[in-house]
Structure 1
Amino acid sequence: MLNQLPVWTIAFIFTFIFVLLCIAIYQSYNFIVKSFNKENKEYITIVDRLGSILPYWLPLLEGLQNFGQQILPDYPFSLMSIYKKTLMPIVIFYVTNPALAFIIFFVLYYLFVRTKSPVPNRPFIRFNVLQSILLFLINSLLGATFRALPIEFRMSLYGLMVCNTLFWFVLSTIVYSVIKSIEGKYAKIPVISQAVRIQIDNQL
């Protein structure tokens, strides 16, 4: 049924559902926080940890789009089969709907980054959302730069080495950030985390 609808209609429906989910999650979040009477904003709840993981899907999908699709076919078949069964359908949907990334980007910015955000100020979630946005922008810049290189270089051994390095940089930073979010600790990625801290401090 969805295949018969125009692309913009499908994108609008998914965006509307995403916004409703965000509102529902934060209404539940407010209820949980109030029920436990946690007045200290620095207290990191389970909802904070889980909510901090979700934004990292954006840079992950961007990294898989820019670098993963080129190098993953050269990896062992077992790894590629796992990728095809898990992440590949999401990546294909992400690639075929490029406007979705920018919609999610602006929704995250509106809900978490702005000083007059409509959602409660939770420093841990705000830090991770801002860091995921910065990783997304870095991935986009690296991907655009790599695609601008001559195709002869990109398909050569050195090009594949560069692509492989960029892919593992993206993957390692995201995995590290997700692990730190689960632990309830702030990630310390050189330069990137410092830039996020500076941005948050400037908004206070």
Structure 2
Amino acid sequence: MPNQLPLWIIIIISILVLAVGGILIYYISLFIFDSSKNIDKQDITVIDRLGSILPYWLPLLEGLQNFGQQILPDYPFSLMSVYKKTLMPLVIFYVTHPALAFIVFFVLYYLFVRAKSPIPDRPFIRFNVLQSILLFLINSLLGAIFRALPIEFRMSLYGLMLCNTLFWFVLSTIIYSVFKSIEGKYAKIPVISQAVRIQIDNQL
């Protein structure tokens, strides 16, 4: 399409938005925490909660790409209509720019997960960013395995049942993690959350 931006411009804009967003979160956090000497550094602020929700867009879009597009057309029309008006444009953009996911992945890793991150350590944000990255990698692996199965199986009743199961696993873990982030609590997803904590403890 003539009005579509070139991929390299989209990539640069995405990197800049993520970098500026990370720096803004850092300086706003400094302002909030320095405004009172009695504030505990382990307190989970509104900024921490908002910053912890954003990374979950990455595994959500990956899960919708891998599983949602195949099964959602079979769901009730009202649900499909809501999906088309809300998430579908984002999924289409995500699918048509596959390099964007890996760029966001590496930017998140560089800004929040790396031991020598340029942003001061915020344990709650770091935990959720690392968990969202792990969910993204699991989604990518499950999606690759599912696409490697014979098309006859994928289109069969058992294939659709498997796709539904994987889709709801992805969706439920992300919704649960987001709600826990809003509450200011650490999510406890079996195996996944433990793996995140082990990784964080190993970097200390």
Shared fold, TM over 0.5: yes
Question: Take 1:4 and 1:134, find their aligned partners in 2: how far apart are those partners?
Answer: 31
Aligned to 1:9: 9
Residue 138 of structure 1 aligns with which residue? 138
> What is the aligned residue count?
204
Distance across 1 between alignment mates of 2:3 and 2:10: 9
CA contact (8 A) 1:41 1:123 kept: no
Structure 2: runs of 5+ lacking an equivalent: none
Distance, in Å, in 1 between the alignment partners of 2:125 and 2:191 is 19
Provide the C-alpha distance between the structure 1 equivalents of 2:138 and 2:37, rounded to a whole number of angstroms. 38
Q: Write out per-residue CA displacement over residues 28-61 of structure 1, whole angstroms, 9 at most, x where no aligned residue.
A: 2222222234653321111111111111111000
Counterpart Cα distance in 1 of 2:145 and 2:42: 39
Q: For the residues of structure 2 that align with 1:156 and 1:26, how far apart are their CA atoms?
A: 49
Aligned to 2:44: 44
RMSD: 1.6
TM-score normalised according to structure 1 size: 0.95
What is residue 184 of structure 2 aligned with on the other side?
A: 184
Matches within 5 A, 1:135-174: 135-174=135-174
Distance in 1 of aligned mates of 2:190 and 2:14:
35
Which stretch of the first structure deviates more once superposed, 171-180 or 15-24?
Answer: 15-24
Taking structure 2 as the reference length, the TM-score comes to 0.95
Q: Give runs of ≥4 in structure 1 deviating > 6 Å.
A: none
- CA drift of 1:8 comes to 1.8
Question: Percent of aligned pairs with the same residue?
Answer: 80
> How much does 1:5 deviate?
4.2
The Cα shift of 1:70 comes to 0.4
Task: State the shift of 1:120 in Å.
Answer: 1.3
Q: Please name the residue that 2:199 is paired with.
A: 199
Match of 1:96 in 2: 96
The amino acid of 1:164's aligned partner reads N
Distance 1:69 1:78 in 2: 16
Q: Does the 8 Å CA contact 1:105/1:133 hold for their aligned counterparts? A: yes
- Letter of the 1:183 counterpart: E
Q: Deviation per CA, 1:88-112, whole angstroms, max 9, x where unpaired?
A: 1111111111111011100110011
* CA positional deviation for 1:12: 1.8
Query: Corresponding residue for 2:55?
Result: 55
Which residue does the alignment assign to 1:25? 25
Matched residues in 1 for 2:122 and 2:78: separation? 40
| 8 Å contact kept, 2:94–2:100 | yes
1:127 matched residue in structure 2: 127
Going from structure 1 to structure 2, the CA distance change for 1:97 and 1:199 (only over 3 Å counts) comes to: same
* Inter-CA distance 190–2: structure 2 relative to 1 (3 Å threshold): farther
Looking at structure 2, the residues matched to 62 and 124 of structure 1 have their Cα atoms a distance apart, in angstroms, of 23
- 1:147-197 Cα deviation digits (max 9, x unpaired): 000111001110000000000000000000011111111111000000011
